[in-house]
Amino acid sequence: MYYKEIAGVKVSALGMGNMRLPTVEGQGEKIDREKAREIIDYAMSHGINYYDTAYRYHAGESETFIGEALKKYPRDSYLLASKFPGHMVEKKGNGVLGFVSGLAGWPDSTVDGVFHEQLQKCGTDFFDFYLFHNVNEKSISIYNDPELDIVGYFKKQKEMGKIRHLGFSSHAVSASTIDEFLTRYEGVFDFVQIQLNYLDWKLQDAKSKVEVIGRHGLKVVVMEGVRGGRLAALPEEQMAKLRAVREADSAARWAHRWLQSIPEVAVVLSGMTTLDQIKENTETFASPDPVNEEEKALLSEVADSMLSWVPCTACRYCTEGCPNELEIPKIIAAYNGVKNGDFMARYNPDDADPSMDPRRCVACGNCASICPQGIKIPDIMEEFSKMLSK
Ligand code: SF4
Ligand code: SF4
């Protein structure tokens, strides 16, 4: 493993994301703790020291799990990052926050209540890194709200030693939103976590976001480096182009080597679900091996051929609020497959699990209101249903 720095702290170039841990078959997001623990132990024994979680990952179980899994290791042998869920709450008055529609059943709380619940769930007295989750065009008003004073509250927690370094994650549409937030709170943050990969360089203008963060002198923590697995399983035509240059390299290795070529990047998070994935990724990050200019141009070509795909990252934020318990990211993956002509033969919604049938969508819109990628999910469901009935 090679290492980089965020504000003087030595961080592993590959970080463990804890939102796609292995799950128990047929039990939604419930973590398969035995398998997940094996992955964390592998990470710890192969030099990964950065562990990222958030209030709502795995329907709230991720924080509890990672706290338990890391407990046997000395507290100074790993760095723990979690996030305040400001993008999913609304004000109810007197500092009380309720979760937005689509997350029914989550209790009202306060900023202080959420933070202390997180410390307790993670079994720690402090977070090494703490982020405001998804500062975007919509949630920025909550984070800037003078009555809630979220930034002031967490600055105080930092002074009290309960947080070592502050940052924020962002799925903002525009780089100017990130710039606005950084300018308003200049000096508060040490890093910004963004969705970055060779497809989003253009698709989500990640290039401008990296430039903005770099201009403020901060480091980038990468999420969705392989776009929820999309860039780890390229269509055969694209894969053949890559194999012609480096025969043995997987698509995921290409995506990670591209990230290694971006100087502002400190940690590349990967939501690793299997031991095979973490084995391959720790090998990729054993020492820097960034793509050269020719390889970069080739990946840009590959990205151009994929720009018409629905940009779902399989984050699963949308699934919890679906009244018909549809497997939305899997349906979108099927839709992308059908549209690209490599899935139709295998997809018949009459044979599939009802959770995979787009025709069961009632267009309630719960999913679209929470999707960080701004995907118009009910429209996709409608179009896919029409395509399948032809
Ligand atoms: S719009 Fe359709 S897919 Fe989205 S939450 Fe409602 S029923 Fe589920
Ligand atoms: S549709 Fe949006 S919220 Fe749902 S899994 Fe995909 S990216 Fe995430």
Clarify whether residues 298 and 323 are in a common domain.
no
pLDDT at 52: 98
Atom 3 in ligand 1: residue holding the nearest Cα = 361
| Average pLDDT over all residues of the chain | 92
Please indicate whether residue 206, judged by its CB atom, sits closer than 6 Å to ligand 1.
Answer: no
| Predicted local confidence at residue 230, as pLDDT | 84
Three-class SS of residue 206? helix
How large is the average pLDDT for residues 386-390?
A: 81
Report the CATH number at residue 253. 3.20.20.100
From residue 17, how far is each of 24, 186, 378 by CA, in Å? 18, 27, 29
Which CA distances in Å does 186 have to 189, 219, 256, 257? 7, 14, 30, 31
pLDDT digits (tens, 9 = 90+) for 47-94: 999 999 999 999 999 999 999 999 999 999 999 999 999 999 989 888
User: What confidence score (pLDDT) does residue 325 get?
Assistant: 92
Instruction: Give the percent of the chain with pLDDT over 70.
Output: 95
Q: Does residue 313 belong to any structural domain of this protein?
A: no
Please check whether residue 128 lies inside any domain of the structure: yes
- Residue 158 in any domain: the answer is yes
β-strands 219-223, 127-132: how paired? Answer: unpaired
Flag whether 43 is in a domain.
yes
Contact 347, 337 (CB under 8 A): yes
Q: Are residues 298 and 326 in the same domain?
A: no
Specify the pLDDT at position 318.
92
Task: Give the total number of structural domains in the chain.
Answer: 2
Which of 276, 304, 332 delimits the end of a domain? 304
Among the three residues 280, 304, 328, which one is the final residue of a domain in this structure? 304
What Å distances lie between residue 319 and 20, 103, 329, 331, 388, CA to CA?
14, 10, 8, 11, 22
Query: Are 252 and 356 part of one and the same domain?
Result: no
Residue 193, pLDDT > 70, answer: yes
Ligand found nearest the CA of 325: 1
Specify whether 94 is located in the same domain as 229: yes
Residues 34, 122, single domain; the answer is: yes
* Cα separation, 268 vs 196, whole angstroms: 9
Distance from the CA of 362 to the center of ligand 1, in angstroms? 6
Q: Strands 50-52, 14-17: parallel, antiparallel or unpaired by DSSP?
A: parallel
- Atom number, ligand 1, closest to the C-alpha of residue 360: 7
Which has the closest alpha carbon to 20: 256, 273, 194, 233? 273
Atom of ligand 2 nearest to the CA of 317: 3
Q: Rounded mean pLDDT of 100-126?
A: 88
Same-domain pairing of 18 and 61: yes
Q: Could you tell me which residues come within 8 angstroms of residue 252 by beta carbon, excluding any fewer than 6 positions away? A: 226, 231, 232, 277, 280, 281, 284
Domain ranges, residue 208: 3-304
The residue-averaged pLDDT of 232-256 equals: 95
12 phi and psi angles, rounded to 5 deg? -70, 140
Q: Would the CB of 322 count as within 6 Å of ligand 1? A: yes
My answer on whether 268 and 339 are in the same domain is no
103 and 202 in a single domain? The answer is: yes
According to the model, what pLDDT value does residue 260 have? Answer: 98
Which whole number is the average pLDDT over 301-325?
Answer: 87
Among the listed ranges 137-141, 163-167, 265-269, which one has the minimum average pLDDT value? 137-141
**Domain assignment of residue 216, yes or no:** yes
Report the pLDDT value the prediction gives residue 162, as an integer from 0 to 100.
98
Cα distance between residue 74 and residue 125, in whole Å: 13
Task: Answer yes or no: is pLDDT of 103 > 90.
Answer: no
Q: 318, 335, 364: which to mutate for ligand 1, most atoms within 8 A of CB?
A: 364
Could you tell me the distance, in angstroms and rounded to a whole number, from the CA of residue 61 to the centre of ligand 1? 23
What is the whole-number distance in angstroms between the Cα of residue 294 and the centre of ligand 2?
33
Domain boundary among 281, 304, 327: 304
How many angstroms separate the Cα of 268 from the Cα of each of 2, 284, 376?
Answer: 12, 11, 28
Which pLDDT belongs to residue 344?
42
- Give the residue carrying structure tokens 């360089």: 201
The four Cα atoms 224, 229, 232, 236 give a dihedral, to 10 degrees, of -130
H-type helices in the chain, by residue range?
Answer: 33-45, 61-70, 111-122, 140-143, 150-159, 175-184, 200-203, 206-215, 236-243, 251-260, 275-284, 293-304, 328-339, 377-389
Identify the residue whose C-alpha is closest to ligand 1 atom 8: 322
How many angstroms is it from 134 CA to the middle of ligand 2?
A: 14
The kind and range of the H/E element at 99 are: strand 96-99
Of 346, 271, 344, 338, give the one whose Cα is nearest residue 308.
338
Nearest CA to ligand 2 atom 3: 371
* Ligand with minimal distance to 56 CA: 2
Task: Give distance in angstroms: CA of 223 to centre of ligand 2.
Answer: 14
Nearest-ligand number for the alpha carbon of 335: 2
Does the pLDDT value for residue 115 go beyond 70?
Answer: yes
For the cut 80, the answer to whether the pLDDT of residue 316 exceeds it is yes
| 3-class secondary-structure state, position 294 | helix
Tell whether 309 is covered by a domain: no
Dihedral of alpha carbons 285, 290, 295, 297, sign: positive
The pLDDT assigned to 167 comes to: 98
What confidence tens digit (pLDDT) does each residue in 219-229 have?
Answer: 999 999 998 88
Mutate to test the pocket of ligand 1, among 326, 383, 385 (most ligand atoms within 8 A of CB): 326
235 lines ligand 1 (CB under 6 A): no
- Cross-strand bridge partners of residue 31: 23
206 and 355 housed in the same domain: no
pLDDT tier, 342 (very low <50, low <70, confident <90, very high otherwise):
very low
User: Is residue 381 within 8 Å of residue 349, measured between CB atoms?
Assistant: no
Q: What is the mean pLDDT of residues 26-46?
A: 96
* pLDDT exceeds 60 at position 25: yes
pLDDT-derived band at 170, boundaries 50, 70, 90:
very high
For 132-150, what is the mean pLDDT?
94
More confident residue, 174 or 241: 241
218 and 345 part of one domain: no
**pLDDT value at position 343?**
41
Q: Which residues line ligand 2 (CB under 6 A)?
A: 312-318, 328-329, 332, 371, 373, 375, 377
Give the number of other Cβ atoms within 10 Å of residue 336's Cβ. Answer: 20
- Phi, psi dihedral angles at 129 (to 5 degrees): -130, 135
Within-domain flag for 314: no
Q: Is residue 241 domain-shared with residue 133, that is, in the same domain?
A: yes
- Ligand 1 centroid–CA 308 distance in Å is 22
> Would 56 be classed as within a structural domain?
yes
What's the pLDDT band for 354 if we cut at 50, 70, 90? confident
pLDDT digits over 365-387, tens only? 999 999 998 999 999 999 999 98
Residues 251 and 376 in one domain: no
How remote is the CA of residue 31 from the centroid of ligand 1, in Å? Answer: 24
Q: How far does the centroid of ligand 2 lie from the alpha carbon of residue 161, in Å?
A: 35
Q: Quick one: CA dihedral 112, 269, 172, 88, positive or negative?
A: negative
First to last CA, the chain: 51
